């Protein structure tokens, strides 16, 4: 019996996009038109401009529709902020697919305010408005597991943030994502730039979304369905569980890794691998399994999890 990620069986083709980007409408250094031009010139198919949704910048949801072309589209969005995390700092939530009239929270700046909307409440309101919502840069934010648990409406965790990699060496969200998966949360995983263009924080991590058309509605539906993978360059062409193995087909890589709950992980290594079958015995009957690949240059790609049904979720 084969258990294949819907990403690779869904109709359509893959479209390359970045879901976390800033401009002069908040704290970026390039205007929205130039940001879109650069992503288009670099071969991206779509972009979400996600400026900081705080009063300091006028609560922007930037109208990028004029920047669309026959081969490049945009999805409206913002990085939302409201309420305090356990460390006392403000929540950062990525919301892609917001309506242009999404109501502001009481968030005048980058400090929590008394009696303002909480992070979980703001995330739920964005989802109800139609957005794809992700917990942004957990490692950079100092996010605790209890913080992450509280955002029950999120679709995804930002597991790689290129700006956090280049700017402070805190790019990671995998630990939080894996713990939430182990608790039974059905989440996907996104890689992004968080580009401000004030440092080399751009064109370093993106999503490849499987959809029938490079149109905002189709891309947004595919994101919500988890029909995408994340990458720094390597291509994933199939990820499936078959005969007790995680089978991965991909562009040429040096390592193919199966990752599950707890200490469960197993890799196969070689030269110019384009297919690998990783035995799952070492994954401790994990109820979820995800794939990672690493190429000869150290660039990675990551799949969303496959749910195996191997064991009940632990209490």
* Residue 116's CATH number: 3.20.20.140
Same domain for 13 and 81, yes or no, is: yes
User: pLDDT category, 315, cuts 50, 70, 90?
Assistant: very low
* Last residue in a domain, options 193, 209, 229: 229
> Can you tell me whether residue 179 is helix, strand or coil?
helix
pLDDT band at 309 (very low <50, low <70, confident <90, very high): confident
DSSP 74: E
Residues 158 and 243 in one domain: no
Q: Is residue 315 part of a domain?
A: no
Contact 150, 116 (CB under 8 A): no
- State the pTM of this model: 0.96
User: Which of 200, 229, 258 corresponds to the end of one domain?
Assistant: 229
CATH number for the domain that contains residue 248: 2.60.40
Q: Is 312 among the domain residues?
A: no
Neighbouring-strand partners of residue 301: 231, 293
Single out the residue of 275, 239, 233, 237 nearest to residue 259, CA to CA: 239
Contact 228, 155 (CB under 8 A): no
Q: Residue 296: give the domain boundaries.
A: 236-307
Summarised one tens digit per residue, pLDDT across range 260-281 is: 999 999 999 999 999 999 999 9
258: its two tokens: 């199966």
Give the number of other Cβ atoms within 10 Å of residue 212's Cβ. Answer: 13
Pick from 46, 51, 15, 299: nearest CA to 162: 299
Question: Chain-wide mean pLDDT for the chain?
Answer: 96
Confidence of residue 72 (pLDDT cuts 50, 70, 90): very high
Is residue 253 a contact partner of residue 233, using CB atoms and an 8 Å limit? no
Buried b (16+ CB within 10 A) or exposed e, 282-304: ebeebbbbbbbbbbeeebbbbbb
Give the chain's largest Cα–Cα span.
57
The model's pLDDT over 194-205, given as tens digits with 9 standing for 90+, comes to: 999 999 999 999
The CA–CA distances, whole Å, from 244 to 181, 248, 285, 305 equal 21, 13, 10, 16
Residue 312 has pLDDT above 60, yes or no: no
Report d(CA 78, CA 21) in Å as an integer: 9
Q: Both 212 and 298 in a single domain?
A: no
Task: Give the Cβ contact number of residue 91 at 10 Å.
Answer: 27
pLDDT digits (tens, 9 = 90+) for 193-248: 999 999 999 999 999 999 999 999 999 999 999 999 999 999 999 999 999 999 99
């Amino acid at each position: 019996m084969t258990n294949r990620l819907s990403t690779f069986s869904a109709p359509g083709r893959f479209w390359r996009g970045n879901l976390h980007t800033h401009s002069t409408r908040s704290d970026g250094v390039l205007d929205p038109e130039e940001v879109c031009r650069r992503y288009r010139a670099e071969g991206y198919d779509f972009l979400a401009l996600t400026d900081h949704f705080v009063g300091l910048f006028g609560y922007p949801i930037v109208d990028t529709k004029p920047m669309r072309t026959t081969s490049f589209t945009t999805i409206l969005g913002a990085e939302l902020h409201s309420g305090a995390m356990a460390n006392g700092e403000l929540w950062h939530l990525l919301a892609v697919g917001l309506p242009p009239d999404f109501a502001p929270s009481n968030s005048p700046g980058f400090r929590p305010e008394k009696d303002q909307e909480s992070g979980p409440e703001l995330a739920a309101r964005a989802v109800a408005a139609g957005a794809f919502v992700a917990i942004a840069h957990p490692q950079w934010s100092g996010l605790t597991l209890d913080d992450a648990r509280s955002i029950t409406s999120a679709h995804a965790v930002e597991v790689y943030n290129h700006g956090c990699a280049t700017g402070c060496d805190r790019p990671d969200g995998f630990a939080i994502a894996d713990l939430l998966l182990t608790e039974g949360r059905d989440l996907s995983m996104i890689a992004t730039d968080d580009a401000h263009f004030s440092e080399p924080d751009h064109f370093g991590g993106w999503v490849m979304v499987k959809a029938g058309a490079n149109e905002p509605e189709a891309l947004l539906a595919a994101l919500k369905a988890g029909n995408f993978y994340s990458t720094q360059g390597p291509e994933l062409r199939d990820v499936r569980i078959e005969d007790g193995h995680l089978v991965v087909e991909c562009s040429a890589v040096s390592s193919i890794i199966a990752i599950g709950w707890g200490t469960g992980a197993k890799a196969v290594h070689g030269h110019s691998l384009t297919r690998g079958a990783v035995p799952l015995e070492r994954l401790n009957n994990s109820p979820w399994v995800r794939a990672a690949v690493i190429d000869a240059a150290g660039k990675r790609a990551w799949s969303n999890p496959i749910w195996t049904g191997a064991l009940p979720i632990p209490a």
